[in-house]
């Protein structure tokens, strides 16, 4: 097995070389259905998870965005922040860059970038970090909890469903 050293300079080149061919170079397929909903499952695997932030992101216009969607992370998502200069200067910035790559929608915002995650409240970032860990390592958004009053154990869904909904 041959080892290859990857540096910040050649990672993009390596990623492009291993990326799938663009649609224009692939064999023609049936045209996609008009206005098809985004795919949430691929081959029976759930790849996107909805969530509701505890506080919500407030944009420049003062609009609060609480509902969002996070997709499963890929190996590329985990590797790319390692070469980011902001992460090299401050390793704590890794979660900001990583979350900005896997959050696909936040309210009406579809371009979620590091600047958006930077301006979120700390409680929302902590929620998203835990949510990321759950969907990428455990494959679900449920958590076992205990009632502090009656000490009864039950399960809650962290994806933001309303009480009484199934």
From the list 135, 121, 162, the residue with the least C-alpha distance to 70 is 135
pLDDT at residue 49 is higher than 60: yes
Q: With bands split at pLDDT 50, 70 and 90, how would you rate the model's confidence at 93?
A: very high
pLDDT at residue 105 is higher than 80: yes
Q: At what angle do helices 122-133 and 94-102 cross, to 10 degrees?
A: 70
Residue 159: the pLDDT is 58
pLDDT at residue 123 is higher than 90: yes
pLDDT at residue 67 is higher than 50: yes
The strand order across the sheet containing 64-71 reads 48-58, 64-71, 103-106
């Amino acid at each position: 097995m041959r080892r290859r050293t990857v540096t910040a300079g050649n990672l993009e080149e390596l990623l492009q070389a291993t990326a799938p061919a663009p649609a224009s170079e692939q064999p023609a397929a049936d045209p996609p259905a008009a206005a098809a909903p985004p795919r949430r499952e691929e081959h029976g695997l759930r790849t996107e998870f909805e969530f509701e932030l505890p506080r919500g992101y407030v944009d420049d216009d003062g609009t609060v965005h609480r509902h969002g969607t996070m997709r499963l992370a890929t190996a590329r998502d985990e590797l790319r922040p390692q070469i980011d200069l902001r992460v090299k200067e401050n390793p704590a910035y890794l979660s900001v860059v990583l979350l900005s790559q896997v959050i696909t929608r936040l309210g009406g915002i579809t371009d979620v970038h590091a600047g958006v995650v930077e301006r979120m409240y700390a409680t929302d970032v902590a929620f998203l970090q835990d949510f990321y860990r759950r969907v990428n390592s455990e494959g679900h958004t449920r958590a076992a909890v205990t009632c502090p009053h009656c000490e009864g154990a039950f399960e809650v869904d962290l994806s933001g469903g309303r009480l009484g909904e199934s």
